[in-house]
Amino acid sequence: MASDRILTVPNLLSLVRLVLAIVFFVAVEQGRQVPAFWLFVVAASTDWMDGWYARRYGQVSRLGRIFDPLVDKVIVCGAYVILAAAGTAIAPWMAVVVVVRELMVTAIRAEMEKAGHDFSAGMSGKLKMVLQCLAIALVLADRAWPGLAAGGVTVAAAANWAAWAAVAATIWSGVEYLVAARPLVTS
């Protein structure tokens, strides 16, 4: 059950993540690759922490149910757009797929919750987020430490595979959300 509380630890973590996202975008634009990598890693980590904390300590709030996914979209969509523009393993069309899916799911979630249905992220949505963050982190690592390899696989190659896997998971998750919302859309 969501409360009306605003000042909760999870909401403060989401606010910190939003500030980190802005600093991250500036770091990428300024070509500060190593700080950009670490800013993204820290920001992405707080997404897991705020959700865990909210459930564990009963601090789920109405604001958090809106603010947390909004901040997720800011950092992921922003990173996809800025990295696609920089000519990385994330192609511009991949950024478009990610942004369109996020806008579509946001609209569907708003309508479902307005109709009184819970529309929390499912497993495919969580997998999508993990793969998107992995792709972003690997692209950033490749930019920070060009030529880095482990076990004969370059970070650039891993970033390419992760970018494709993230797009596949993004499409799959979007289709699942459309199917789940079908009763609302067709009524």
The phi, psi pair for 173, rounded to 5°, reads -65, -40
CB 41 within 8 A of CB 4: no
Q: Determine, yes or no, domain membership for 1.
A: no
Q: Which two tokens stand for residue 18?
A: 């939003």
pLDDT of residue 50: 85
Number of domains in the chain: 1
In tens, the pLDDT along 108-145 reads: 888 877 877 766 668 899 999 999 999 999 999 999 99
pLDDT of residue 64: 85
Give me the helix-helix angle, 62-85 and 92-114, nearest 10°. Answer: 170
pLDDT of residue 31: 96
In tens, the pLDDT along 80-101 reads: 999 999 999 999 999 999 999 9
Q: Determine, yes or no, domain membership for 72.
A: yes
CATH number, domain containing residue 128: 1.20.120.1760
Domain, as residue range, for 157: 9-186
> For residue 117, which of 178, 175, 67, 181 has the smallest C-alpha distance?
181
